[in-house]
Structure 1
Amino acid sequence: MAESTVQHSTDKLLELKEKQKIIDENPFCNLKINDTRELKLVESRRKCDLCQKSRKFFCYTCYQPVLSCRYYPRVKLPIKIDIIKHPREIPGKSTAIHAAIIAPADVKIYIYPDFPEIPNKEETVLVFPSKDNAKNISVKDLFVRKEGKNDALGEKTETVWPIKRAIFIDSTWHQTKSIYKDQRLRELRCVILKSRISQFWRHQKDSPRWYLATIESIHQFLVELHTCALGVDEDYGETIKKYLDLNDIIKNTCYTDSTHQYSVINGEELMQRYNGQYDNLLYFFKYMFEHIHSIYNHNELKAYKRPLI
């Protein structure tokens, strides 16, 4: 029996590797991301208006673009995103800045020990795995209605979104302990994301490929949040299932035209079923991925030799 189980696991792993090999050839092909060739037209560097340092696309210390907005997309998010950067995280290597440039109205970056205000812990989550597995919840768990004051009064919840803010830690996995231990985060619910294979080109020692870059984590979280709240567009469903591994969300959640337990449909694009609304968060990430792969062979980069599981 033991040998059979081992063989079964080995076959599954080989199957997973073969599937991922195909995805790695063009991982963004089915996502709705603007044509990144616009960025290839940018040849000269410009000075940041704030620090006067020479930058090409954006200033990664001031979190400001140095390009005209015609060169990159803007995205509106359904909730606020706070990113806490470790002070030793090298600014030029972080992907957190991508979110701040593309969604400036909804994303703010803090350098630890600077910290975002958390006025309401019930409406805020930390997207980070707790050491205590019992405290970890999925995005889908956020939509489990708890009996409370509003229910007793028979009032309807005013939004499809069960939270208003999500906090991310931007650092290497080895640097996260000092931030995660901060008392200001201890009372927050810890959300873990569904398995997703990273396309980040920077190698982190002793980390599997499902350790995501910050911008990948933000994108994954928002897609899961939106999909749980409003469902996924029928034409986009196969893309979501293949790329983001959301099969059980799509399969096990009933999406109808009736009002969701958190729903008051009063918007346009943000209130529609998921159809790529946040894919452009990966715009700079996609460009840099393609640039790196134009210089280096994918199979020779250490980051892609990490274990998948």
Structure 2
Amino acid sequence: MVGAQPYDIEALKIEPKPVLDACGERLACDLCGKKTKFFCYFCCRPVPQLAGKIPQIRLPFKMDVIKHARELDGKSTAVHAKIIAPEDIEIITYSDTCLDDVDPSRTALLFPGPDAQDISELDASTFDRVIVIDGTWSQAKGMVHNSIKLRRMQKVTVKPRRTRFWRYQNLDDSFMATIEAIYFLYRDSFKNGEYDGEYDALMYFYKYFYDFIQMRTRAH
């Protein structure tokens, strides 16, 4: 994407390291019992040790993350948003019926293209929620192509940035991780004065993992 610029991940107004570094061995999720280090990818809940210690925020509009059935839970960064903003984020596995209760005339779809409008320029009164697709670029295009409702939604986009994602992808660096796209969608929609970190907490786990990977890479 032309014009994609790097963003300063260190400028985020969050500091997850002290809290997350204090987590020791893997603990069982208090719902499903699966052992995990920080949070359960399946139940979208932090481990009991982190209860009350990680940020919780409210968002200006609801979001449904539609996850492709073949997208592995353990690879998805969308769960970060659900954990930090549980009242405003839902994660739904794509199916023929997953959008039955959605009104496409009142829903925006985060999806790039010539007909997509920058979220910063969109009138907030024209939508009630936003849908984000979680999957590979090929999977995302397939879901939009196969869903009449997704095709009917007004498409929105965010200003281009270079991803900080550490996992290799066969795409250029303007294709952000899902949590980056979610974060910048809310950040770019901020219209009540100068943005001052109101939604930075969405990147809480992402920044921790990013810093960990950078530290390990430098060590080698």
Q: Flag whether TM exceeds 0.5 (same fold).
A: yes
- Secondary structure of the equivalent of 2:65? strand
Q: Larger relative contact order (C-alpha < 8 A, sep ≥ 6)?
A: 2
Contact in 2 for aligned 1:39/1:71 (Cα 8 Å): no
Match of 2:153 in 1: 188
| Alignment partner, residue 189 of structure 2 | 225
Identify which of 197, 201, 215 aligns with 1:294.
215
Greater helix proportion: 1
What residue ranges of structure 1 are gaps of 5+ in the alignment?
1-12, 144-159, 233-273, 301-309
Q: Judge conservation of contact 1:34–1:73 (CA < 8 Å) in 2.
A: no
**Where does the alignment leave 5 or more consecutive residues of structure 2 unmatched?**
none
SS in 1 for 2:131: strand
Which of 107, 117, 120 is the matching residue for 1:124?
A: 107
Tell which structure's C-alpha radius of gyration is larger.
1
Q: Counterpart amino acid of 2:188?
A: E
SS in 2 for 1:29: helix
How far 1:276 moved relative to its partner? Answer: 0.8
- The match for 1:7 is none
Match of 2:90 in 1: 108
Partners of 1:129 and 1:221 in 2: CA distance: 12
> What is the one-letter code of the residue matched to 1:285?
Y
Q: Distance in 2 between matches of 1:119 and 1:170?
A: 18
Shift of 1:225: 0.7
Given that 1:172 and 1:204 are in contact with CA atoms closer than 8 Å, whether structure 2 keeps it comes out as: no
State the shift of 1:192 in Å. Answer: 1.6
What does residue 165 of structure 1 align with? 129
Which of 178, 184, 209 is 2:173 aligned to?
Answer: 209
Paired residues of 2:104 and 2:149 also in contact (CA < 8 A): no
Please, what is the CA RMSD of the aligned residues? 2.4
| 2:162 equivalent among 169, 175, 197 | 197
Question: Is residue 48 of structure 1 aligned with residue 29 of structure 2?
Answer: yes
- Measured in 1, the distance between the counterparts of 2:125 and 2:23 equals 38
Deviations, residues 193-249 of structure 1 (Å, cap 9, x unaligned): 1111111101111x11110111100110101111xx3231xxxxxxxxxxxxxxxxx
1:69 deviates by 2.4
Matches within 5 A, 1:23-172: 27-67=8-48, 68-113=50-95, 115-130=98-113, 133=114, 135-143=115-123, 162-172=126-136
* TM-score of the aligned structures, taking structure 2 as reference length: 0.89
Percentage of identical aligned residues? 37
Q: CA offsets, 1:142-197, max 9 Å, x none? A: 12xxxxxxxxxxxxxxxx65432010000111221221121221110111211111
Secondary structure, aligned partner of 2:10? coil
How many residues were matched structurally?
216
- The whole-number CA distance in structure 2 between the counterparts of 1:140 and 1:217 is 14
- In the alignment, the residues of structure 2 paired with residue 100 and residue 172 of structure 1 have an alpha-carbon distance, to the nearest angstrom, of 19
Residue identity matched to 2:80: H
C-alpha contact 2:16 2:205 (8 A) present in aligned 1: no
2: CA distance between counterparts of 1:69 and 1:49?
Answer: 11
Conservation of the 8 A alpha-carbon contact between 2:31 and 2:43: yes
Give the Cα–Cα distance (whole angstroms) in 2 for the partners of residues 89 and 101 of structure 1: 18
Following superposition, the deviation at residue 124 of structure 1 comes to 1.3
